[in-house]
Structure 1
Amino acid sequence: MENSSREIVFSLIGLNDTKSNKVIYFSCSFLIYFFTIFVNITLLVSVMLDRVLHEPMYIFLCNLCVNGIYGATGFYPKFLLDLLSDSHVISYSACLTQLFTVYTYVFCQFSILTVMAYDRYVAICKPLEYHSIMTPGKVWKLLLVPWLISLCETSVASILTSRLPLCGFKIDKLYCTNWDLVKLSCVDTSVNNLYGYTILIILLFQALLIVISYFHIIRTCVQSKADQSKFMETCLPHVITLTSFYLFASFDVLYARYGSSSSQQGLRNFFSIEYLIIPPLLDPLIYGLKLKQIRQSIKRLLSRNISAGT
């Protein structure tokens, strides 16, 4: 086989263990994907239709839901098709497209969570200045910047990866990632590794900004019971969302680099997809259950639909 991007086809050997129970895996995966899309769209529609929720915090939450739908859609459709197929393969161009989608989702998730931490910092630490700081123009910038930064970061990573000649065509996962293609390269990948460390530094810097924000938030909340109540209602969901995503993403990175290749395929699969399936499903549920105004908005939306149906 010539090393031409038009002819390269990868085998996704992570799906080998699903052949005996593919109907069960397909049914469960389809239901999870459907429910993920449903809960995110429900929250989005509730915020858009309720003028009371047209506040920066809820708008940023909508951005998080849009990214969750984007990330889930980057994984599930191809995975579901593979479960119905006897041959688990993916073309070079489709592989690059999938890794671009997955990495954009990951980088954007980090950036959106950083923006949401900044929003909570201003709301709790500078409540009197909140509306003068979080102007409509600034909100729009804070909505777009995570996507622009993520697209730029992923574009550079994709370009660096696409220039690599490959000496292998088996991917030990359920989907394509940049790290898998770099491992299949038969030339020096120092530039790719250096860029990977650069991205890691950027993510650590974002994490530092979040830590600083919450340091000031907690210091302010200690002095006021009202702020403590606001923290429990609006910041606790963000902390849970943030912690879960950082943990799931860290598990995948650490296991990809240091995990044993002799471990069970099912375990490797779980660690590789948890950050793609759990946060998009969990985030809208956490906010929908915890934020009183969103709960009330969803109830009004459902009651209107029921009334219209009857």
Structure 2
Amino acid sequence: MINSTQVSYFTLGAYFDIGTFEYVSFVVIMSLYMLIVLANLLLIVVICRNRSLHEPMYLFLCSLCVSELYGSTGLFPLLLVQILSDVHTVPAPLCFLQIFCVYSYANVEFCNLAVMSYDRYLAICFPLQYNTLMTSDKVAVLIALTWLYPFLAITVLISLSASLTLCGNIINKVYCNNYSIVKLACFNTTVNNMYGMAYTFATICVVIFILYTYTKILQVCFCGSKQTRQKAVSTCTPHLASLLNFSFGAFFEIVSSRFDMKHVPYMCRVFLSLYWLTCQPLFNPVLYGLNLTKIRILCKSLIFGKM
């Protein structure tokens, strides 16, 4: 029996020997990480530098880009170290820190998408009252809640997991995972499971709220003019695509953690477990950069100089 306070390290059991391909994998993942950092930093700089973009929609987008940088930094550095390492162990404090970063990132992502959908809902369904309903103070409060709520929720989650008495230290993942640690517990984990269910239910409620706002937006689009429909499509398509992409990855991660997925090829399981943490941070800046005309023009101006 190993008490969690005595566990000095966890072993990531999902890695396997890929020989010389480890260097290729390292270069590919390092390149992906650099692309993510550069793409998100570009959008953040463009939005911060241009006063014409200091509007709620772009400020929420800036918050989304910051969360992508935060989540990527919580995953990639440790992942790159593990790829080149022969012994895939992680110190317990660092493992819990990674869990905090990854899980809080996921919540911040959903909360960001929720406030962005709410902003579009007000802009399209209540265009005349929009400036009154979405004030600068309200924007600041929404962004603060987007970050504070996930941090508090995950702090409680980590505290419950860190206090467990463990009977092992092998995590069958390529990164630290909270549910994998809970499964190592020797005794009753009812409190952890109840809090985990409440945490999952709260996340589902956020997703339902997002879908509700888009349902209302679609109702307005079908009843409105051609110009209204075009505005809705141009501004809402990136948000909806981002939500579907992230929800798919998060859903598979939850399913693979809780159910037997041995019938799925091993490499496919590893790829899909990393999908929501690697593709979403690159997907968002590319998607918004290409779809939002203002962002696209200003990005070109910043990179190639004013035309």
TM over 0.5: yes
The one-character-per-residue Cα deviations of 1:235-271 (angstroms, maximum 9, x if unpaired) are 0000000111011100111121123346543222112
Alignment match, 2:169: 169
Q: What residue is the counterpart of 1:289 in the other structure?
A: 290
Q: Distance between the aligned counterparts of 2:211 and 2:163, measured in 1?
A: 37
142-151 vs 258-267, which moves further: 258-267
Compare 67-76 and 211-220 and name the one that shifted more. Answer: 211-220
For the residues of structure 2 that align with 1:41 and 1:4, how far apart are their CA atoms? 38
Partner SS state of residue 127, structure 1: coil
Q: How does 1:17-32 map to 2 (within 5 A)?
A: 17-32=17-32
CA distance in 1, matches of 2:4, 2:184: 14
SS of the equivalent of 1:128 reads coil
**What amino acid sits opposite 2:286 in the alignment?**
L
Are positions 1:86 and 2:117 aligned together?
no
Aligned residues: 306
Q: How does 1:142-157 map to 2 (within 5 A)?
A: 142-157=142-157
**Which residue in 1 is equivalent to 2:74?**
74
TM-score, normalised to structure 1's length?
Answer: 0.95
Question: Equivalent residues in 2 for 1:186-201 (5 A)?
Answer: 186-201=186-201
**1:248 and 2:234 correspond:** no
Structure-1 residue corresponding to 2:105: 105
How many Å separate the matches in 2 of 1:131 and 1:297?
Answer: 24
Two-structure CA RMSD over aligned residues (Å)? 1.6
Take 2:55 and 2:121, find their aligned partners in 1: how far apart are those partners?
15
Match of 2:233 in 1: 232
- Distance in 1 between the 2:73 and 2:163 partners? 26
Distance across 1 between alignment mates of 2:4 and 2:55 = 50
Residue aligning to 1:299: 300
CA distance in 2, matches of 1:180, 1:87: 19
Q: Which amino acid aligns with 1:284?
A: P
User: What residue is the counterpart of 1:209 in the other structure?
Assistant: 209
**Identity score, percent:** 37
Gaps of 5+ in 1: none
After superposition, residues 41-56 of structure 1 pair within 5 angstroms as 41-56=41-56
**AA partner of residue 244 (structure 1):** N
Q: Whole-Å Cα distance in 2 between the matches of residues 259 and 238 of structure 1?
A: 32
Give distance in 1, aligned partners of 2:39 and 2:174: 25
Retained in 2: the 8 A contact 1:255–1:271? no
**TM-score using structure 2 length:** 0.96
Partner of 1:274: 275
- Change in CA separation of 1:287 and 1:173 when aligned onto 2, cut-off 3 Å: same
SS of aligned partner of 2:10 = strand
Match in the other structure for 2:139: 139
Residue 259 of structure 1 aligns to which amino acid in structure 2?
D
Question: Which runs of no fewer than 5 residues in structure 2 stay unpaired?
Answer: none
- Greater CA drift, 200-209 or 281-290: 200-209
Equivalent-residue separation in structure 2 for 1:118 and 1:184 (angstroms): 40
Amino acid at match of 1:272: S
Instruction: Tell me what 1:126 maps to.
Output: 126
* Partner Cα distance (2:194, 2:55) in 1: 40
Contact 2:4 2:162 in 1 (8 A): no
**C-alpha distance after superposition, 1:135-157 (max 9, x if no partner):** 11100011110111100110110
